[in-house]
Amino acid sequence: MAVPAVVLAAAGLAVLIWLTAHLVRYAATARSLRPVLRRAWRIKYTWKRTACRVGLVQTERSRPPWWSSRPATTVVTRELVPPITVTVERWGVRVDAATIGRLGIDEFQNAAGHLADAWRVGHVRVEQPRPGLVRLRALLTDPLTQHAAWINDDAAGPEVWLAGIDADGQPVSIRSSGVSGVVVAGLAGYGKTSFINARFCQLARSSAVQFVLIDGKGGPDYDDLFVRAWLHAKDDPQQVRDHLAQVRELLIVRQRSIRAVLGVKNVWHVGPSQAWPLVVVVIDEAHTFLNETKGNDADSKRLDALARETARLVEELIRKGRNVGIQVVLATQKATGDAIPTKIRDNCQVAVSFAQRTSEAATAVLGSDITSAPDEHPRRLQDPAYVGVASMVAEGRPGFTLVRCPYVPDATADAIACQTSHLVRDPLALLPVGEEVVQDASA
């Protein structure tokens, strides 16, 4: 039967309108985004065929509907393909797919490599922002490889740790209030020191924060920051032990006086203040002071005793310092048990990992769950383009998040330390407690 002319005319008009809308959108799109737009159209209009080819389809068997003329015993099969919506971003194409039946995030992760080949993109990153939705990022350029400059934010206080920005350029924060231990691990030269410098710069202008800075490398990295520190040391194990003993003394005095001074049992209920500052203890290359020394000579025995005592002090500060406002940040290249004792590492509430060479090292710092997050695994960050990118559990975000941490030039951190050196106070001297309490704590 011939198709009526009016139907053909209507179909032609619909196609013309569709083409016109696409041409207008293409013309209105910035020239730099037009290749991305073309890729997005290709993904959208070939999705059903692509999904079938990479295995993202589920076959459903059912009976004919009641109105069908086929026998009720007939088996009807149909292929279900997850519906998608496609969005153009400056870095590539974002594809939001609905889950169907047994097609969940695991199946999309397994198909990510095949999708990257089919779409002709460098990488497809998979995440699940909420139940029932899987987000695919077809990256033409990875936004995490773009440089992020440090921006001073005076509104950021001790309660919030601004870590950097995610792949969408959105700010990412990690929990700081109520945290007594932080582990920062990663290969040398991949951003640990700059990450800590950014945190230092965020907090240095606040009179409600005091620092204890310990540099296990023994080099000049922290020399100009020491002017803003209550206590500071390099790689002298005896001096480090003595400084940590002073912080322990502060811990005990605060435990005995917090209720009388603040009227609460936890400083985070009222927040740190100038009279009761948050004490941030940074120990860079922490394994330098925690590794046991083997040997029978007198010097080896002395160093081993210092390491054991230092480990005991660090463990106690992390275990007991949360409610009195003492926070320990341990930075190390590898957080395995031979570098950071597990009784210390596993008590830290926050873990951040820059590039790692082995899965063992990544699991040591982030836990075994990182093995089920291949896109956020620190082994992927070994490319020099990812210097300054870390994997972490961010506040209010499911699973792991890759974060581009801002780069802080040494000159900037040094200048802030110099400008704020007048804020340095001895937290013990700020406490209105009797001398007998301090003497008891020292004992």
Q: If you ran DSSP here, which 8-state letter would residue 103 be given?
A: B
Query: In 3-state terms, what secondary structure has residue 128?
Result: strand
- Altogether, the residues listed in the chain come to a count of 443
The position carrying tokens 């922490």 is: 286
pLDDT tens sequence across 223-282: 999 999 999 999 899 999 999 999 999 999 999 999 999 999 999 999 999 999 999 999
Annotated binding-site residue? 294: no
Please give the average per-residue pLDDT across 77-102, as a whole number: 91
- Domain coordinates in residue numbering, the chain: 33-141, 147-442
Annotated binding-site residue? 388: no
Tell me, which fold does domain 147-442 have in CATH?
Answer: Rossmann fold (3.40.50)
For residue 5, pLDDT beyond 80: no
pLDDT tens sequence across 406-442: 888 889 999 999 999 999 999 999 887 554 444 444 4
The position carrying tokens 């780069």 is: 407
Annotated binding-site residue? 337: no
pLDDT tens sequence across 35-87: 888 999 999 999 999 999 999 999 887 777 777 777 777 777 788 999 999 99
Strands, E assignment, 294-379: 326-332, 350-353
Annotated binding-site residue? 188: yes
Tell me, which fold does domain 33-141 have in CATH?
Answer: Threonyl-tRNA Synthetase; Chain A, domain 2 (3.30.980)
pLDDT tens sequence across 354-366: 999 999 999 999 9
- The whole-angstrom separation of Cα 344 and Cα 273 is 28
Annotated binding-site residue? 45: no
Annotated binding-site residue? 28: no
- And the tokens for 339? 């570098």
- And the tokens for 82? 């997850």
pLDDT at 159: 86
From the number of C-beta atoms within 10 Å of its C-beta (0-12, 13-18, 19+), residue 74 rates as exposed
Q: Are 315 and 343 in contact (CB under 8 A)?
A: yes
- The whole-angstrom separation of Cα 317 and Cα 320 is 5
In 3D, which of 181, 286, 185 has the Cα closest to residue 240?
A: 286
pTM, entire model: 0.79
- The whole-angstrom separation of Cα 273 and Cα 263 is 14
- The whole-angstrom separation of Cα 273 and Cα 268 is 10
- And the tokens for 385? 């383009």
pLDDT tens sequence across 169-182: 788 888 889 999 99
Mean pLDDT over the full length of the chain: 87
